[in-house]
Amino acid sequence: MKEEGKEIVLSGIRATGNLHLGNYFGALSKFVRMQDSDVYDNMFFIADLHALTTAPDPKLLHENVKNIVTEYLAAGLDPEKSTIFVQSDVPEVSELYLLLNMHVGIGELMRTASFKDKARKALGIRSDSDNIESEIIGTDSNKRVNAGLLTYPTLMAVDILIQKAHKVPVGKDQEQHLELTRRFARRFNSFYGVELFPEPTNFDFGGKPVKVPGLDGSGKMGKSEGNCIYLIDEEKVLRKKVMRAVTDEGPKEPNSPVSEPVQNLFTLMELTSAPDVLQHFKDAYADCSIRYGDLKKQLAEDILKITLPIRERILDIRNDDAYIGRVLRQGAERARERAAATLREAREVMGIRKFY
């Protein structure tokens, strides 16, 4: 909640689908912890404009925004403690995005790792090929690589800078975007000789950042990977997913090294199970008595302890359009107040002044 003197925390998640355990442990559970620490002035939003950079679909977009706000609330974000809003409800963001783009080089945007990744995927180019510039320039269809995707980091920087946020809790994959945000802030401040934008930093509660693995044996859990456990998953579905998780043939000798698929299950256990439960299965692995079926059953049980209460709240909140509307209206009002003040300052220093 807005309070003088408190550092501003801001973060968002793109409206591209339901939230999974990766989003929960990597982002949402941290938002809730920051909120409940009572130390910060918290702002959490749903990045619907960013969702348009990859998969514009009018029907899905509206549904996805609703899904995410519902999941935010169900996981413990409290509109009385945090400003919860939708990105597009703050039109000042779109205007500052245009203005800030005048100070952003297309070269630095093209070198951004996430842009290269997404552009490669869109163009169907191998992931080790670095020469995508000519491919991009040679294609006319905006269906392939659109300018919105290129300027994604400008929009993200504006989300942060327009609220003058200090701390931005995001996963490791977003570090480069945060670095660009700092660079853009410094550049703008020094070009106009002002101290308009603070330089934001990432935030974690100590410890190493989590990378939640998927159930398919390798890599991280991610929407586009099809390997997710969703907060909204029904009990039966969730159990089935966990029981089907990839493992290996089991240890043949005591103290064998742990393969990636099995380590992934241990990592999920680290996040969801009690330490003695994890230790029990690690010991069983070390002395070759482990049965993966038992480990999976336990893991499913422990995940359900976290997700089922959230799922129940999701089902309740989802039907309460009036409540969702109130939360988002109040959030938009608060977010706009601050955004409008920053935009006024930016226009002023850039020389955009009215004659009437």
Say whether residue 14 binds ligand ADP (CB under 6 A): yes
Burial of 226 (0-12, 13-18, 19+ CB in 10 A): exposed
DSSP structure string for 275-305: HHHHHHHHHHHHTT---HHHHHHHHHHHHHH
Q: What does 222 bind: ligand TRP, ligand ADP, none (CB cut-off 5 to 8 Å by kind)? A: ligand ADP
Q: What values do phi and psi take at 308, rounded to 5?
A: -60, -45
Say whether residue 23 binds ligand ADP (CB under 6 A): yes
Catalytic residue list contains 211: no
Catalytic residue list contains 223: yes
Q: Are 231 and 74 in contact (CB under 8 A)?
A: yes
Say whether residue 47 binds ligand TRP (CB under 6 A): yes
User: In Å, what is the CA distance from 10 to each residue of 47, 168, 270, 308?
Assistant: 12, 5, 27, 27
User: In Å, what is the CA distance from 6 to each residue of 3, 41, 68, 148, 182?
Assistant: 6, 6, 26, 33, 20
Say whether residue 12 binds ligand TRP (CB under 6 A): yes
Return the range that interacts with ligand TRP (CB under 6 A); candidates 128-136, 167-175, 187-195, 290-298: 167-175
Q: Amino acid letter at 284?
A: A
Q: Are 89 and 328 in contact (CB under 8 A)?
A: yes
Q: How far is the CB of 187 from ligand ADP (least distance, A)?
A: 25
Distance, in Å, from the CA atom of 274 to the CA atom of 26, rounded to the nearest integer, reads 19
252 token code pair: 């043949």
Q: What does 153 bind: ligand TRP, ligand ADP, none (CB cut-off 5 to 8 Å by kind)? A: none
Q: What does 154 bind: ligand TRP, ligand ADP, none (CB cut-off 5 to 8 Å by kind)? A: none
What residue spans of the chain are helical by DSSP H?
21-23, 29-36, 48-51, 58-75, 91-101, 106-110, 113-123, 133-137, 147-150, 152-161, 175-192, 235-243, 260-272, 275-286, 292-318, 321-350
DSSP code of residue 180: H
Say whether residue 14 binds ligand TRP (CB under 6 A): yes
User: Which residue among the candidates 6, 81, 172, 220 is catalytic per the annotation?
Assistant: 220
Q: Nearer Cβ to ligand ADP, position 268 or 295? A: 268
Binding residues with ligand TRP: total (CB under 6 A): 14
Say whether residue 53 binds ligand ADP (CB under 6 A): no
Q: How far is the CB of 189 from ligand ADP (least distance, A)?
A: 26
Q: How far is the CB of 174 from ligand TRP (least distance, A)?
A: 5
Q: Nearer Cβ to ligand TRP, position 30 or 296? A: 30
Return the range that interacts with ligand ADP (CB under 6 A); candidates 115-123, 177-185, 188-196, 210-218: 210-218
Return the range that interacts with ligand TRP (CB under 6 A); candidates 10-18, 36-44, 105-113, 329-337: 10-18
Say whether residue 220 binds ligand ADP (CB under 6 A): yes
Catalytic residue list contains 220: yes
| Catalytic positions, written as ranges | 118, 220, 223
Q: Which residues bind ligand ADP (CB under 6 A)?
A: 13-14, 16, 22-23, 25-27, 170-171, 173-174, 210-212, 220-223
Binding site for ligand TRP (CB under 6 A): 10-14, 47, 50, 156, 159-160, 168, 170, 174, 177
